[in-house]
Amino acid sequence: MDFHDTQEEAAFRAELRSWLSEHWAGRPSEGGRGDFDTLRRWGGELYDAGYVGLTWPAEYGGRGLSPTYQAIYLEEMSRANAPGHPGVIGLNMAGPTIIAWGTEEQKQRYLKPLLNGAEIWCQGFSEPGSGSDLAAGRTSAVLDGDHWVVNGQKVWSSYAHKADFCILVVRTDPSAPKHAGLSYLIVDMHAPGVTVRPLHQITGDPEFNEIFFDDVRVPRSSILGSPGDGWKVAMTTLLHERGTLGFALSAELERMVNQLIKLVKEPAPDGRRPADDPVIRDAVAREWIEMQSLRFTNYRSLTTLLETGIPGPEGSGVKLAWSEANQRLTSLAQSVFGLHAQVTGDEVPWNGFWQYWQLRSRGNTIEAGTSEILRNIIAERVLGLPKGR
């Protein structure tokens, strides 16, 4: 395939670079996810400039562009070291699912505030005891007049402590086969009976959460699809998540590699740079090569998406490679500091950037599919090897 931008794509890239240089001048690299209210305002700026929902239909607030423009957007955001829109679950999962399954009234109600960052979404899929087995979920919804009454618990819900709405998979027919008894609801996170308990990670962030539903009354009209369609609707959600995941991950890895290169070029107090050490140079080169291999794998996946409308299987391989590369990369950065990497307080190197991301990277091989699960998927569904069990 031709890896060069078309004339229109090149113009879009130049426009985006110019806008970022004006609105996101090089800000300091700091540990943590940043102040959420500031990120929400930044999301509003991106929306006002036309960079949110690039591939969405124009009638729902998007620009109707091809996925190549989303790839360009992710590349340029990473190169500018700029954060993305904070409503990632809404943009990549809830929004496309509402477009595919929602009524016109639901689309008019939810899509614009989702795009401009006024309302944040979370995902209620995983449950304690069921792990990655979505069909084994036990959170129930019982119809009572014009409302569903929801009871149960979800876990590992990113942004739930900030969210206004949740895309929730519930069991509405306990007598049906487990895949057939599910339904898919939109739930107001501020409704009576919804309790969110943040789970503090090793970084100190409450990034994931538990959600408890105790007799939560959800309007009957808040269902996506029909009762029993929950599995099919959820697969739509996951398809869109995986369709954009590869480029998002490789863009993030490019950002981290660029930061690593910047780090090793900085002179130590004795005047020597880490990059003067050939062992360090080889290690950095390995991560740069890994980044390039992920990029070209994503180009192959993008070609499949453009030709068929369905993401290829490359996403599983990209996620597996990215998660392990990011752990190596952040560990390498910490090793550059030596004993100084253990310093805290005012003397912490790089304002704690590398300490934070090295700790955060420990979850990369667990979230969005563990490395063990992804290796099984690749072996069985891509390579056609016999099932492991």
Q: Residues 314-329: pLDDT tens digits?
A: 778 889 999 999 999 9
Q: Are 318 and 301 in contact (CB under 8 A)?
A: yes
Which range has the worst mean pLDDT, 91-95, 255-259, 324-328, 337-341?
Answer: 337-341
Class of domain 233-382: mainly alpha
Query: In this predicted model, which residue has the larger pLDDT, 80 or 150?
Result: 150
Contact 157, 208 (CB under 8 A): yes
pLDDT of residue 234: 94
pLDDT at residue number 315: 78
Q: What is the pTM of this model?
A: 0.89
Given a cut of 90, is residue 113 above it in pLDDT?
yes
The pLDDT of residue 184: 98
Quick check: 29 pLDDT over 80? Answer: no
Any idea how long the chain is?
A: 389
pLDDT at 360 over 90: yes
> Domain boundaries in the chain?
7-86, 122-227, 233-382
Fold held by 7-86 = Butyryl-Coa Dehydrogenase, subunit A; domain 1 (1.10.540)
Where is pLDDT greater, at 90 or 271? 90
**Which one has a higher pLDDT value, 317 or 229?**
229
Question: 122-227 has which CATH code?
Answer: 2.40.110.10
CA distance 385 to 389: 12
Instruction: Kindly report, residue by residue over 150-193, the tens digit of the pLDDT.
Output: 999 999 999 999 999 999 999 999 999 989 999 999 999 999 99
3-state helix, strand, coil in the chain (%, to 5): 55, 15, 35
User: Is it the case that residue 27 has pLDDT exceeding 70?
Assistant: no
Q: Reply yes or no on whether 241 is catalytic.
A: yes
Per-residue pLDDT at 340: 82
Arithmetic mean of pLDDT over the chain: 90
Q: Which of 127, 241, 287, 290 is catalytic?
A: 241
Q: What does each C-alpha distance from 212 to 84, 165, 196, 374 come to in angstroms?
A: 29, 14, 6, 29
Sign of the alpha-carbon torsion through 292, 294, 295, 296? positive
* Separation of first and last alpha carbons in the chain: 39
